[in-house]
A and B are shown apart, each in its own frame.
Chain A
Amino acid sequence: MGKRVGIEVSIAAADAVASTDVDVVAAYPITPQTHIVEHLSELVNNGELDAEFIPVESEHSAMSVCCGSSAAGARTFTCTSSQGLALMNEIVFIAPGLRLPIVMILANRSLSGPLSIWNDHTDVMSIRDCGWIQVFAETGQEVYDHVLFSFRVAEDPAVSLPVILNMDGFILTHVIEPIEYWEPEQVKRYLPDFKPVNALDPDRPTTVGAFGLPGIYSEAKKAQDEALIHSKEHILKAWEELGQVVGRHYKPVETHLTEGAETVFLTMGSIGQTVAMAVERLRDRGEPAGLVKLRLWRPFPFEELRDAVRGAKRIIVIDRAISYGGTGGPVASEIRSALYGEDHMPAVTNFICGLAGRDVTPDDYIAMYERSLEMTQSKVGQEDSVFYGVRE
């Protein structure tokens, strides 16, 4: 068993990255991601990590450097947030098209207009369809474990896709938590050396990033979609083996007190812990409440989600982003789609809250619960998604 230390989660995340003997790190500073890249550059400059740390001039270049580095066969990491993600957007879509196994931590933060440095999920929801594997961590330990998991999955030759590890800005990045570090033997056992499917090599010249005419573009995209869909079996295997190595067990969809639950909350990321407190209090009052947490966002875990909510009459989806002029929150709209056509489809109610780090307490979630009981069968449309706690 590895040592357990009380440490800021960003530092632990950087240590986890360093434990993989990463080859190239390219990053541009942005709050709240900074502590991760600061610590990585410190490790490099102190000779504790043998890697190229490339302090690029923008996030667009960060992701571009990562593409060049990964294509050349190096284990590659970057880290960003919010506006940084928005700036690198163009290249974010290209990396999975080229099947480059880059790992990126996204310290989730609101998108600007007005500028905000605080936490919500508007950044990651803007790239929902970018083609990366996307997972959410709820605690510092989950962040640490999932750094190793992300490299393992991304670089699996049967997957060869980039992975985004979401961690809530400040709520996770800037808190001190007790975290169990992995022993070097555990890392070695879990994460094999990176052997790229293709690497730029003068001895074996390849052309990467060719131009796709209409006669072949659809085939290229179908191949990419199939790769993402089928990555799930390797994701499940990677979690299973992670459990064998460090004794912590992860699933695409986690449940808490869902046995006999009629109304379940659905969350992503760190708010799961707050909602769990609310659910426990509701249970104490005799209310049939439960909690479902989505850990795997892409590829979407349809079966696991359906199993998790089976028997529930109502799902309260907590969204931390908005689909302007659309169907309310992006997560709720996905949940509705995933359950559409199911027998006894539960009503989906949707609250948008916790934008830009606004505090949402267990009392607030209990209030949402009570309010949801008054909301009848949901209809897809704006009227059933509610901005919680907004002053009129």
Chain B
Amino acid sequence: MEAVNVYAARILEKQEYFKPGHRACQGCAEALAVRLVAKALGNNVIVASATGCMEIISSPLPFTNWDVPWIHVAFENTAAVLSGAESAYKALARKGRIKDRGTVFLGMGGDGATTDIGLQALSGAFERGHSFVYVCYDNEAYMNTGIQRSSSTPFGASTTTSPAGKKVPGQITWKKNMAEIAVAHNVPYVATACASYPFDLMEKVQKAARTPGPAYIHILSVCPTGWRIPPSKSIWIGRLAVETGIFPLFEVEDGRYRITVDVPEMRPVEEYLKPQGRFRHLTPEITARIQERVDFEYRKLVAKTQFKF
């Protein structure tokens, strides 16, 4: 848990804008992340969603779990749809046809929708500088279609299109660093988050919403079905991702890096990998390679936080 009082949850607003009765799997930490993001933003928001798990579990016609305006058009175009809605509001407010109430434009997509098929649309929207918050719910594979690998699947993970085979030990590429791609666009606010740290997550979402211009939040979203862990362990495993340095929680404001959840003593990556079925086949050699890479990436991140402007 973050350095907050254990009673902090009591003071949270009770209102939910993502309503119960959704059809996500048991223990879905992505649905939890959606809940927390919606809670953090309140009701003055317009949401654009990509095709994916969160879309189908929350909008089975004629029913919706959304208590705020929500639009889904396709898989790879969320950032573009959002650009359109944001621009429409800008034009209509300028022409006096609607009142400018500071409505927040929230885009959401999974790792496939963000780091693969929707990367171009997102890059375009970043570059054009629309004012929006884009949240990637990264569960590290195409879970909705049956756990196929994406560019966000971590090295070594076994998925249905990167199966652990006799010759190839699962995914053989390193996870695409989407947060850094966002930083490279010089957008004013970029952060990573995880539902295992709900207050850190909500604070970042609110900060992103306050930021004029584009903001990007990359949320590691534990998927017990695809990662092959018991549903009850979703929060626990997300915490281990942070405590092993595999998924550090940080934010980048106007290029300035800050680690938001300190991990004074890093746990070995093995503690994170071992409980997950998708990594069960890993040999000590592969685990060592992952450890080496994680250490290197973490040192790089720390160095960035120490950069003097």
Contacts and interface: CB of A to CB of B under 8 A. Distances in A.
Task: Consider the complex of A and B and state whether they touch directly, i.e. have CB atoms less than 8 Å apart.
Answer: yes
B81 interface: yes
B254 interface: no
Going nearest first, the 4 A-B pairs with the smallest beta carbon separation are A68-B84, A57-B124, A74-B88, A64-B80
Interface in B24-51: 43-46, 48
Interface string A54-86: 111110111011111111111010000000000
B155 interface: no
Interface stretch (A197-205, A229-237, A366-374, A384-392): A197-205
A58 B124 contact: yes
A201 B103 CA distance: 9
Interface stretch (B4-12, B59-67, B169-177, B208-216): B59-67
Interface stretch (B71-79, B158-166, B193-201, B298-306): B71-79
B207 to A, nearest CB: 20
Interface residues of B, number: 48
A52 interface: yes
A210 B62 contact: yes
A264 interface: no
A57 B120 CA distance: 8
Most buried by A among B60, B74, B84, B124: B84
Interface stretch (A124-132, A211-219, A270-278): A211-219
A205 B121 contact: no
B46 A202 contact: yes
A345 B289 CA distance: 76
Contacts of B83: 26, 54, 56, 61, 65, 68
Contacts of B94: 50
Contacts, number: 165
Contact of A202 (B63, B69, B91, B120): B69
A200 B46 contact: yes
Contacts of A76: 84, 88
A98 interface: yes
Interface string A130-149: 00000000000000000000
Interface string A289-313: 0000000000000000000000000
Given A24-B87, A74-B92, A98 B60 contact: no
A20 to B, nearest CB: 13
A48 interface: no
A173 B201 CA distance: 52
11 contacts: A21-B95, A62-B80, A67-B77, A68-B48, A68-B82, A68-B88, A72-B92, A74-B92, A98-B73, A200-B46, A200-B85
A55 B56 CA distance: 31
B76 A60 contact: yes
Contact of B121 (A54, A60, A72, A208): A60
A131 to B, nearest CB: 15
Given A208-B70, A213-B61, A67 B81 contact: yes
Contacts of A208: 69-72
A223 B44 CA distance: 31
Given A56-B80, A90-B74, A205-B67, A23 B88 contact: yes
B55 interface: yes
B258 interface: no
Nearest to A102: B84
A338 interface: no
A21 B127 CA distance: 26
A61 B77 contact: yes
A154 interface: no
Interface string A173-210: 00000000000000000000000000011101111111
Given A202-B68, A205-B67, A54 B128 contact: yes
Given A67-B77, A200-B85, A211-B56, 11 more contacts: A23-B88, A50-B95, A61-B83, A64-B77, A65-B80, A68-B82, A72-B46, A201-B69, A202-B46, A205-B66, A205-B68
Contacts of B92: 23, 72-74
B88 A24 contact: yes
Given A57-B124, A71-B85, A64 B55 contact: no
Contact of A51 (B66, B91, B128): B91
Contacts of B63: 210
B88 A61 contact: no
A210 B61 CA distance: 5
A49 to B, nearest CB: 11
